[in-house]
Amino acid sequence: MRWIRDLPVRAKVGLVVGAMALALAGEIALSLSAIERLRVGGPAYRGIREYRDAIETITSLESDLNAYQAALFALPSHLERDALRQGNARRAEIEARVDGAFQAVSSLALAEEIRVGLESAHRTWTEFRDTCRARVVPAIERGDPGGIRDLTSGPQARRSQRFIEQVATAVNQARLEVEALEVAAARDARRSVWTMAAAVAAIVAAALAVVFVVVRSITRPLRSLTASANRIAGGTIPAQRIALGTSDELGRLADVFDEMLGTVRTIVAGAQRAAARLDESSRELLAANRQMSEGAKEQATQLQAVSNETAHMAAALHELSSTADAVSRTASNNAAAAEDGALAVSETTAGLDAIRTATDEVRRALVSVMEASVRIRAIVQTLQDIADETHVLSINASIEAARAGESGHGFAVVASEVRSLAKRAADSSKEITQTAAGIFENMRAAESAVGRNITAVAKGAESSLVLGRSFEAIHESAKATHASVHEMTGVLREQVGATQRTVNVVGAVSRVSEESLAATEQIVELGSRLQEVMHDLENLLGRFAVEEDAPPGPGSPG
């Protein structure tokens, strides 16, 4: 069936039409042959027709015999020669006809028993005829009534009756044959019809098989193409080629389709790769833009800060210039004040020497008090020791009193009193010690304060000297400062002018930077939009799945 697939579509259609036409022609031919075969009088009925003809012929024999007998009965006397001749001619005619009939049926292909029966009838007829010729007719011609008697009740009568019975038997047998032949013919006709039906069915089936193959050779490639196109429509570029491998139009279409598939695969895959690269680049570009934008912003901010700082500096310089003027004036004032201060300080130094002398005296008095207090403490210590020993003695006395028992009772009371006295003495001496210590401490504090006072006064005197020297230095310094500040003020004024110009320049730069920032932001915006476009493009191309190339195998359908 390969050759059918390779046929052009027009030839395929032609093949289908041809197959159908062939099937139709076959059906018509078979139908015609069946009609010819089955029609009344056709081959199927030849035997029946022969038997029917035979029956007709045989049946005619009976009437011929009757006619023959009638001709004999009608034979006139010998005197009427013309009539006699006519009668004999009539008999001869019938004889010829009967003989002809027997000859006719004997030539037919009749059943054995019928032929046997007809042979019997033929012999009966021959006997009858010969007897008529030999005896009956001459008797009638002679006027002998025995001739007619023979015909009516003699052997000729029996022969004629037997002949009729034999002929009837043959006819009846032929009727059976006809019936059997009719049954066979009907069966044959049925069989013919069914055979024809089977043949027609086979032809139709063969035609349908051809049609099926042809239709399939058209629809299968179309299905393959449709399926492939559907996959492409669904976004998959199939790796499998259709590769029909036929040389008809559909095969060529499939080849072109395969070629197109390859091209589309290449294009889509390339576009997808390019889009991916472009996307990456645009990302990088966007990132760089953002970075640049940030930098520009930073720059602008810093420029702003520089501008501000510069302005501040200009202001500060201006202020400084003013301050310098004030400082110059103050320095001049300071020089005068320092002169006045030096004078006051020399007066203070003299006062301080007098205070130091008085204070030294107070201090010596305080030291003597402190010495006295130390001696008091020594005395009190002695008192203390005595009190302690007394206490010990009182305890020993108590113990001794206890040893003495009842007699020591009074001594024990004394010992107890001594002990409390010792305790009171000890307590008083502690009180004195503490008081003396307090005095000593107060004195020492006083002496210390006085000492410090003396030191302070000494230091003050010393400081006054230093102050005096300082005032002189200040005076000198103030004078120098005044000169320096005056000089600096001039420089500052120049500086303020320069700074103002710087401020102006920085402001201009800052404006340019802001403009640049705006431009950078616009670039970033454009970069974002580019990214979106790239995204869309990638989505679009992502709808196409380019299948991996299948390993070479039985990829082609059919």
Q: Which residue has the tokens 């003809």?
A: 53
Q: Tell me the C-alpha distance between 307 and 507, whole Å.
A: 6
Q: Which is nearer to another protein, 126 or 470 (CB)?
A: 126
Q: Tell me the C-alpha distance between 466 and 460, whole Å.
A: 9
4, 15 contact by CB (below 8 A): yes
DSSP H helices in 107-154: 112-131, 137-142, 145-152
Tokens of residue 296, six digits: 């520009």
Rg (CA), the chain: 86
Tell me the closest approach of the beta carbon of residue 554 to another protein, in angstroms: 23
Tell me the closest approach of the beta carbon of residue 215 to another protein, in angstroms: 6
What is the 3-state secondary structure of 476-542? HHHHHHHHHHHHHHHHHHHHHHHHHHHHHHHHHHHHHHHHHHHHHHHHHHHHHHHHHHHHHHHHHHH
Tell me the closest approach of the beta carbon of residue 166 to another protein, in angstroms: 6
Show Cβ contacts of residue 171 under 8 Å, excluding neighbours closer than 6 positions. Answer: 55, 58, 59
Q: Which is nearer to another protein, 121 or 300 (CB)?
A: 121
Tokens of residue 17, six digits: 């039409």
> Judged by CB under 8 A, how many residues of this single chain contact another protein?
44
Q: Tell me the C-alpha distance between 204 and 473, whole Å.
A: 144
Q: Which is nearer to another protein, 204 or 523 (CB)?
A: 204
For residue 537, report the phi and psi dihedrals to the nearest 5 degrees: -60, -40
Q: Does 427 bind another protein (CB under 8 A)?
A: no
Angle between helices 249-404 and 155-233 (to 10 degrees): 50
Q: Which is nearer to another protein, 202 or 358 (CB)?
A: 202
Q: Does 124 bind another protein (CB under 8 A)?
A: yes
Tell me the closest approach of the beta carbon of residue 3 to another protein, in angstroms: 20
Instruction: Out of 10, 46, 78, 190, name the contact with another protein by CB under 8 A.
Output: 190
Q: Does 66 bind another protein (CB under 8 A)?
A: no
Q: Does 162 bind another protein (CB under 8 A)?
A: yes
Q: Which region among 167-175, 245-253, 254-262, 296-304 touches another protein (by CB under 8 A)?
A: 167-175
Q: Does 166 bind another protein (CB under 8 A)?
A: yes
Q: Which is nearer to another protein, 215 or 508 (CB)?
A: 215
* Binding track over 210-229 against another protein, x by CB under 8 A: -xx--xx--x----------
Tokens of residue 257, six digits: 């389709």
Q: Tell me the C-alpha distance between 523 and 531, whole Å.
A: 12
Q: Measured on CA atoms in the order 38, 42, 44, 48, is the torsion positive or negative?
A: positive
Instruction: Out of 39, 78, 81, 123, name the contact with another protein by CB under 8 A.
Output: 123
Q: Which is nearer to another protein, 146 or 438 (CB)?
A: 146
Q: Does 169 bind another protein (CB under 8 A)?
A: yes
Q: Does 144 bind another protein (CB under 8 A)?
A: no
360, 454 contact by CB (below 8 A): yes
Q: Which is nearer to another protein, 169 or 442 (CB)?
A: 169
- The DSSP secondary structure of 321-371, one letter per residue, reads HHHHHHHHHHHHHHHHHHHHHHHHHHHHHHHHHHHHHHHHHHHHHHHHHHH
Tokens of residue 240, six digits: 């499998």
Q: Which region among 110-118, 359-367, 459-467, 506-514 touches another protein (by CB under 8 A)?
A: 110-118
Q: Does 158 bind another protein (CB under 8 A)?
A: yes
Please tell me what DSSP assigns to residue 552. Answer: S
Instruction: Out of 87, 117, 147, 251, name the contact with another protein by CB under 8 A.
Output: 117
Which residues are registered as beta bridge partners of 237?
546
Q: Does 133 bind another protein (CB under 8 A)?
A: no
Tell me the closest approach of the beta carbon of residue 90 to another protein, in angstroms: 24
Q: Which residue has the tokens 């206890």?
A: 402
Q: Does 127 bind another protein (CB under 8 A)?
A: yes
Decide: helix, strand or coil at residue 302: helix
For residue 376, report the phi and psi dihedrals to the nearest 5 degrees: -55, -45
Q: Which is nearer to another protein, 58 or 503 (CB)?
A: 58
Tell me the closest approach of the beta carbon of residue 281 to another protein, in angstroms: 54
Instruction: Out of 36, 56, 80, 113, name the contact with another protein by CB under 8 A.
Output: 113
Q: Does 208 bind another protein (CB under 8 A)?
A: yes
Q: CA nearest 361: which of 450, 444, 455? A: 450
Q: Which region among 59-67, 176-184, 227-235, 513-521 touches another protein (by CB under 8 A)?
A: 176-184
Tell me the closest approach of the beta carbon of residue 211 to another protein, in angstroms: 6
Q: Does 202 bind another protein (CB under 8 A)?
A: yes
Q: Does 163 bind another protein (CB under 8 A)?
A: yes
Tell me the closest approach of the beta carbon of residue 111 to another protein, in angstroms: 9
Q: Does 391 bind another protein (CB under 8 A)?
A: no
Tell me the closest approach of the beta carbon of residue 236 to another protein, in angstroms: 27
251, 245 contact by CB (below 8 A): yes
Q: Tell me the C-alpha distance between 340 and 331, whole Å.
A: 14
Tell me the closest approach of the beta carbon of residue 165 to another protein, in angstroms: 6
Q: Does 176 bind another protein (CB under 8 A)?
A: yes
Instruction: Out of 201, 287, 483, 508, name the contact with another protein by CB under 8 A.
Output: 201
| Interaction site with another protein (CB under 8 A) | 113, 116-117, 119-120, 123-124, 127-128, 154-155, 158-159, 161-163, 165-166, 168-169, 172-173, 175-176, 179-180, 187, 190-191, 194, 197-198, 200-202, 204-205, 208-209, 211-212, 215-216, 219
